[in-house]
Amino acid sequence: MKYIITGGAGFIGSNYLHYVVNKYKEDFFICLDALTYAGNYNNIKDLEGKENYKFVKGNITDRSFVYKLFEEERPDYIINFAAESHVDNSIKDPEIFLRTNIIGTEVLMDACLKYGIKRYHQVSTDEVYGDLPLDKPELKFTENTPIHTSSPYSTSKASADLLVMAYHRTYGLPVTISRCSNNYGPYQFPEKLIPKVISNALQNKKIPVYGTGKNVRDWIHVHDHNVGVDLIVRNGKDGEVYNLGGHSERDNLTIVKTILKEMGKSEDLIEFVEDRKGHDLRYAIDSNKVEKELGWKREYSFEEGIKETINWYLNNEEWIKNILTGEYKNAYKDESK
């Protein structure tokens, strides 16, 4: 089978490629990525030369390019990791989020309809559900929780989800959607909380924490998330949504303090800053559906995963340095030019 993995040079997509390229030798995987600021070719550089893998640079919003790629490759499966995902950026400039996350999804599905596929899978987020109160820990997001977005980012992802389901109902396109909680692990761009804390702590720079730091997130190791995505793509039911959660709720301040303690750094580096506009209070996912129907299990506890993640960044300081200097943008050499 042939797979196109969009956004494969990003954090979650690159981890997915490392997992499947090495696991499924009989399948062929095409990484499609525009290499915008958060797409880092260094994340997938060591996949070069694999017989069941190749990289293609391109943007999912470019209809003629996408159609040409489908015409040439005739993929069986599309897994769409490609997305603008940083909430702060969406608040400053929503337009790119609408283009990539909504129009890009539409272009991909139109190509699927034109050329035919076995399944289109949309990688989404728990942020489409809005937030939960801090004082009711028993409440969790299920697949039936109404969509109630807070930011331009989450709205763009929710819009894409609705579009995916509309294409399934209207055109009969075979689709699945997964909605995950906050991911952590190797190769995460250091604008996100965990790698930012690690990067700043390495430089003894102040670590900004929004508000009081009491906003709660459910954390899932990127490997566990990707095992879930793979299960859904291969065994899920068409037209279904599946939640993938870590069952590891922590408030942001606890996350920061945990990392600083593990790195032997002082909590004096913490600096409380003005809260994010429309900041969601709490996310928590109920993953019972995918656990019962597809047998998905998490391998990582948060305690194990965060230590491994910290060690990865400490052992890959050059990777962080290349991002901070901008050198990572030169990692991909287009041999066709």
Catalytic positions, please?
126-127, 153
- Give all strands (DSSP E) within 165-222, no chain letters: 175-180, 182-184, 207-210, 216-221
Q: Check: CB of residue 177 under 8 Å from CB of residue 171.
A: no
Q: Reduced to 3 DSSP states, what percent helix, strand and coil does the chain have, rounded to the nearest 5?
A: 45, 20, 35
First to last CA, the chain: 30
Distance CA 272, CA 212 (A): 7
CA dihedral 116, 121, 127, 133 (to 10 degrees): 120
> What are the backbone dihedrals phi and psi of residue 141, each rounded to the nearest 5 degrees, phi first?
-75, 130
> What are the backbone dihedrals phi and psi of residue 79, each rounded to the nearest 5 degrees, phi first?
-120, 115
